Amino acid sequence: MAQTISRATAAQTIQLLTGTTGINAGLAALTQGVAATATPLDVAQIRAQNVAADLAERSATVQYPAVNVYCEKIVNNLAQKFQTFSGSVQMAVEIRHSQDGLAGLESSVELYADAVMQVLNANRGDWGGGMYYAGGYQVAFGAVKHGGRNFVQTAKVTFEIGVGIN
C-alpha cells in the first residue's frame, strides 16, 4: 500500500508541476520584465526520485536545474473511520541548481522555489483520487556546496497531502 500511495502522490505532484500552470508558468510570471537567470524546465528535469546529488551525478548525466519529487513520510492515523488508509503523506520537491560561479546562484534557486510555491498556492483543495491539499508548506534552503558544474545549491519544499482511500 505504501508504494501505491507514494507513487500516486508523486505522480500527481509532478503532473501539477509540469502542467500548463506549473513551474514554467510561475517562472514566466516571476521574471516578467526582470532580467533573471532562471531558464524554463524541460519535463525530463522533473523526476520522481529521492537520490543524493553526488550519486545522481555519478550514475547519469544530470541537467541542471533538477527537480526531484518524492514521498518522505506516510502516516495512517485513521482520521476517517472505515477507510483502509486515512491520513497524510509528506511530500518533498527538491530543487538543485548548479553553475560555474556563485553570482546569481542563490537568486536562481529562490526563483525556482517561488515557482513551486506558486503551483502549490494555485492548487489548494481536491487533487482527485482521494487526495487533498490544504495549502501549507515549508521551504528550506541549503548552503552552496562544491558539485555539479562547480557550485550547487538546493531548496527543499515540503508539504502534506491528505489521503483517504478504501
CB 43 within 8 A of CB 84: no
| Rounded mean pLDDT, 34-55 | 83
Q: Which of 75, 73, 119 is nearest to 95 (CA)?
A: 119
- In this prediction, residue 65 carries a pLDDT of 93
Q: Return d(Cα 56, Cα 52) in angstroms, integer.
A: 6
- In this prediction, residue 36 carries a pLDDT of 67
Domain holding 89, by residue range, is: 2-165
Judged by DSSP in three states, 77 sits in coil
- Whether 38 shows a pLDDT value over 80: the answer reads no
Give 112's pLDDT tier (boundaries 50, 70, 90).
very high
| Rounded mean pLDDT, 55-71 | 85
0.75 exceeded by the pTM?
A: yes
Residue 110: other Cβ atoms inside 10 A: 18
Report the number of distinct structural domains present in the chain. 1
First to last CA, the chain: 11
- Whether 56 shows a pLDDT value over 80: the answer reads no
Mean pLDDT of the chain: 91
Cell 524554463 locates to 40
Residue 117: other Cβ atoms inside 10 A: 16
